[in-house]
């Protein structure tokens, strides 16, 4: 099949093809160097089976990668050179293959890279062997991938089940190996033989959450203890990090540093220590998620406003709500940090400042969603922090159109008598929720008028717009009433008011939008918990 495809599609005449399907390697023989150069430099790869998405690549020199997995429950005593020697012994190779520990987070897994087909052919019958009295499971020519920032409550079995669902099958551990590091909230996946179909999947889906598949883990280390008297830049700019620091976050006496160079990362963990000037020595450890629990961290410039927030290509909360485990929903709110950022762009009329204003408002909305899910938030008064527990009332939403009729209350007289002698109208330049709060405190029963967008629930609140309706959404749980698409609580009751004055429950496929020209939507039970934008 390969020779026919090369001949028909690329006009390359093949003399012979030798395939070793068990390890996914073949040798193509052509008649001259011209054909060989065309195959390597022009063709490079070709589709073998379009339906199964099978693509084969042509290379001048083989680089055959396999993986050895030792028992993760036992303390690892193997070093890479010993593993390489044992591999060379079993494969009868005169040279040691390249061998390295895959990650400090998975110290029981080694990557073996050899350039000899004979090595793999000699060892392909082995699926397990011993190194220094410890068993090593062999994953020949396996695909290796990682998934990070997984939920706290996920298990290895659940990850394996999700992958099997993606690739359509039930593969045993020798074909599909999954190891989950709970402390780092990361998993490694080795897919061999038939399970290599996992190569064609770009993400892991679990409980409606999507986690991107990665070819390598983030290179994060933890430096501790870091004294408050030591400037952070003296650490991040230390020669040991070789200008490879991309992000950093300080939690108490721990500094989490992300690097962009694996060799620097490996060297830091090998050395394991750091000293800045005359300060006490500090330890360098591999990152664990426990040290970086966003529930204990405030949103600040280092972890959001001047980092990930600015990387957002288009302000929109939708890209985050599909991943409810994202740290932004768990970070503690610090109003002062937000105000400092907002003051820098407030009133500035240029494209960059406008974009940042939208991003800051998107951040507020994401925090609002997090508060609603967690049913609590933290306030600070006089240096003392206090957690406020929220108890939400039942949201009830009634939509009206031009045919709707208000129901008459029982016992209503035919002639209505106003309970008040006169009506007072005041026009005040104030925040509508603050005015509502004052009226309610005066024993009145106010109704707040939302000058709503007729076609889109919340107007541009998802993108960080700044009008009245968007402001109301960011300060309360109002969005659960109107934006049914993002209501994952499924608790609000939504009704149509009919021409007979009856309340008819909306069906799942019915929408309140676009609103009728003479329509309205009434919501009761809203809980407001955020102050105005400038306080």
pLDDT digits (tens, 9 = 90+) for 36-50: 877 778 877 877 776
Core vs surface per residue 198-232: b (16+ CB within 10 A) or e: beeeeebebeebebebeeebbbbbbbbebeeebee
Reduce the DSSP state of residue 445 to 3 states and report it: coil
Q: What is the pLDDT of residues 260-284, one digit of tens each?
A: 999 999 999 999 999 998 888 999 9
Same fold, 144-214 and 219-286: yes
Whats the size of the chain, residue-wise? 535
Two tokens, residue 342: 């907002």
| Record: fold of 219-286 | Alpha-Beta Plaits (3.30.70)
Supply φ then ψ for residue 387, to 5 degrees: -90, 130
Supply φ then ψ for residue 130, to 5 degrees: -105, 145
**Contacts with 252 (C-beta within 8 Å, 6 or more apart), sequence order:** none
What stretches of 327-428 adopt beta strand conformation (E)?
A: 376-381, 384-389, 396-400
Two tokens, residue 321: 């709500």
**DSSP per-residue codes, 76-123:** P---HHHHHHHHHHHHT-SSPPEEEEEETTEEEEEEEEE--HHHHHHH
Opening angle at CA 314, ends 310 and 318, nearest 5? 110
Whether the ω angle into residue 24 lies within 30 degrees of 0, i.e. cis, is no
Q: Which of 384, 185, 390, 158 is nearest to 293 (CA)?
A: 185
Q: Which of 289, 254, 293 is nearest to 274 (CA)?
A: 254
Pick 144-214's CATH classification: 1.10.3680, 2.60.120, 2.60.40, 3.30.70.
Answer: 3.30.70
**pLDDT for res 383:** 58
**pLDDT for res 53:** 67
65-141 is classed CATH 3.30.70: yes
How many Cα neighbours within 13 Å face the side chain of 452? 27
CA dist., res. 70 & res. 67, Å (int): 10
Q: In terms of C-beta distances under 8 Å and separation of at least 24 residues, what long-range contacts does 41-47 make, across chains too?
A: 42/10, 43/6, 43/10, 43/12, 46/5, 46/6, 46/9, 46/10, 47/5
**Contacts with 211 (C-beta within 8 Å, 6 or more apart), sequence order:** 147, 148, 149, 150, 203, 204, 205, 323
CA dist., res. 359 & res. 305, Å (int): 9
What stretches of 232-353 adopt beta strand conformation (E)?
A: 245-251, 254-259, 273-274, 282-286
**Contacts with 336 (C-beta within 8 Å, 6 or more apart), sequence order:** none
**pLDDT for res 29:** 80
Q: Which of 523, 519, 522, 515 is nearest to 455 (CA)?
A: 515
Residue given tokens 């960080």 in the structure block: 464
What are the structural domain ranges in the chain? 1-57, 65-141, 144-214, 219-286, 294-389, 396-524
Supply φ then ψ for residue 60, to 5 degrees: -80, -40
Instruction: Quote the DSSP letter at residue 174.
Output: T
The stretches in the chain having pLDDT less than 70 are: 7-8, 50-53, 73-78, 289-292, 382-384, 408-415
Residue given tokens 């990070």 in the structure block: 148
Cα 497 off chain centre by? 41
């Amino acid at each position: 099949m390969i020779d026919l495809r090369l001949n028909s599609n690329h006009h390359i005449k093949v003399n012979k093809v030798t395939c070793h399907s068990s390890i996914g390697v073949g040798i193509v023989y052509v008649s001259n160097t011209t054909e060989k150069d065309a195959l390597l430099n022009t063709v490079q790869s070709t589709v073998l089976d379009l339906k199964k998405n099978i693509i084969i690549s042509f290379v001048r020199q083989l680089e055959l990668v396999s993986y050895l997995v030792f028992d993760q429950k036992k303390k690892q005593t193997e070093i890479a050179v010993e593993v390489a020697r044992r591999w060379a012994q079993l494969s009868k190779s005169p040279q040691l293959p390249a061998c390295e520990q895959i990650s400090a987070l998975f110290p029981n897994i080694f990557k073996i890279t050899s350039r000899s087909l004979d090595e793999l052919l000699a060892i392909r019958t082995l699926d397990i062997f011993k190194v220094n009295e410890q068993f090593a499971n062999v994953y020949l020519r396996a695909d290796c991938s990682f998934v990070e920032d997984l939920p706290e409550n996920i298990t290895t079995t659940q990850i394996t089940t999700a992958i099997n669902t993606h690739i359509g099958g039930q593969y045993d551990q020798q074909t599909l190996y999954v190891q989950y590091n709970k402390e780092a909230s990361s998993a490694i996946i080795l897919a061999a033989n038939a399970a290599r179909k996992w190569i064609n999947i770009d993400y892991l889906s679990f409980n409606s959450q999507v986690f991107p598949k990665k070819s390598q883990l983030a290179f994060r280390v933890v430096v501790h203890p870091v004294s408050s008297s030591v400037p952070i830049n003296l650490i991040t700019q230390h020669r040991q990090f070789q200008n490879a620091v991309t992000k950093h976050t300080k939690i108490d006496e721990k500094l989490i540093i992300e690097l962009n160079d694996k060799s620097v990362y490996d060297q830091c963990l090998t050395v394991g220590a750091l000293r800045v000037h005359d300060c006490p020595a500090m330890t360098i450890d591999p990152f664990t998620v426990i040290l970086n629990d966003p529930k204990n961290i405030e949103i600040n410039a280092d972890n959001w406003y001047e980092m990930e927030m600015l990387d957002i290509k288009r302000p929109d909360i939708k890209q985050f709500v599909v991943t409810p485990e994202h740290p932004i929903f768990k970070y503690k709110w610090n109003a002062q940090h937000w105000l400092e950022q907002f003051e820098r762009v407030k009133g500035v009329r240029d494209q960059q400042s406008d974009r940042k204003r939208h991003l800051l408002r998107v951040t507020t909305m994401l925090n609002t969603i997090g508060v609603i899910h967690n049913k609590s938030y933290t306030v600070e008064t006089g240096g003392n922090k206090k957690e406020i527990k929220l108890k939400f009332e039942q949201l009830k939403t009634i939509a009206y159109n031009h045919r709707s009729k208000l129901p008459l209350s029982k016992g209503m007289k035919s002639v209505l008598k106003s309970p008040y002698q006169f009506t007072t109208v005041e026009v005040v330049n104030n925040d509508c929720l603050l005015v509502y709060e004052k009226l309610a405190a005066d024993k009145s029963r106010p109704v707040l008028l939302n000058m709503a967008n007729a076609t889109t629930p919340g107007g541009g609140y998802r993108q960080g717009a700044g009008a009245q309706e968007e402001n109301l959404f960011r300060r309360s749980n109002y969005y659960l009433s109107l934006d049914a698409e993002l209501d994952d609580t499924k608790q609000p009751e939504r009704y149509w008011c009919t021409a007979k004055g009856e309340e008819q429950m909306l069906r799942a496929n019915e929408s309140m939008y676009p609103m009728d020209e003479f329509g309205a939507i009434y919501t009761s039970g809203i809980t407001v918990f955020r102050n105005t934008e400038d306080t």
